[in-house]
């Protein structure tokens, strides 16, 4: 879990009102699991239900495009993801206040036993299933925070089935 330390793609997007975005078909992003010049993995609503999303690598461009694999997230998986996110956010608060070092990031392993357990238990849920749907994502920033918080990342997503 990276915690969105980069902001390249969303930094240039217009800031929008969440109510307006929701009316326009954008949906909530619940948890960001990976970020590299934009959201790469996480949990977001697709048609109002929580799904995992995972960016598709484009070999032709040698980069990620705007396509993602999405698949439903079960209630137990979402609960474990939220618990892991809480542990991460508690560390992030300490890190930002200079009371924790990068070496104490729970994702390094051996730092927080519960986080390690959750990470192991979540592996099968995070693995892209064969029936994952390929969709195109359009992201919109809500404000300048660009980081995770208890309410989730400060951006939304609009999904469209690839090829439509």
Look at residue 54 and tell me if it is in a domain: yes
Based on the structure, what is the number of domains in the chain? 1
Residue 44 within a domain: yes
Half-sphere exposure of 78 (CA within 13 A, CB side): 16
In the predicted model, is pLDDT for residue 4 greater than 60? no
Q: What is the Cα 21 distance to its own chain's centre?
A: 18
Considering the domain boundaries, does residue 108 fall inside one? yes
Is residue 30 domain-resident?
A: yes
Q: Is 88 within the bounds of a domain?
A: yes
Asked whether residue 53 is domain-assigned, the answer is yes
Owning domain of residue 130:
8-161
**For residue 155, which of 2, 4, 1 has the smallest C-alpha distance?**
4
Query: Residue 2: inside a domain, yes or no?
Result: no
Q: pLDDT tens digits, residue range 52-100?
A: 999 998 767 667 778 999 999 999 999 999 999 999 999 999 999 999 9
1, part of any domain: no
- The more confident residue out of 133 and 21 is 133
Neighbours of 22 (CB within 10 A): 14
């Amino acid at each position: 879990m990276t915690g969105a330390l980069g902001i390249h793609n969303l930094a240039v997007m217009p800031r929008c009102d969440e109510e307006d975005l929701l009316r326009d078909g954008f949906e909530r992003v619940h948890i960001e699991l990976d970020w590299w010049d934009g959201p790469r993995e996480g949990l977001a609503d697709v048609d109002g239900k929580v799904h995992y999303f995972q960016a598709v690598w484009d070999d032709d461009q040698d980069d990620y495009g705007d396509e993602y694999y999405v698949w439903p997230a079960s209630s137990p998986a979402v609960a474990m993801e939220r618990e892991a996110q809480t542990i991460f956010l508690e560390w992030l608060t300490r890190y930002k206040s200079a009371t924790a070092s990068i070496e104490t990031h729970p994702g390094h392993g051996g730092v927080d036993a519960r986080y390690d357990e959750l990470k192991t238990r979540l592996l099968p849920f995070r693995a892209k299933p064969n029936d994952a749907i390929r969709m195109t994502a359009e992201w919109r920033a809500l404000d300048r925070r660009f980081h995770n918080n208890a309410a989730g990342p400060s951006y939304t997503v609009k999904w469209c089935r690839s090829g439509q």
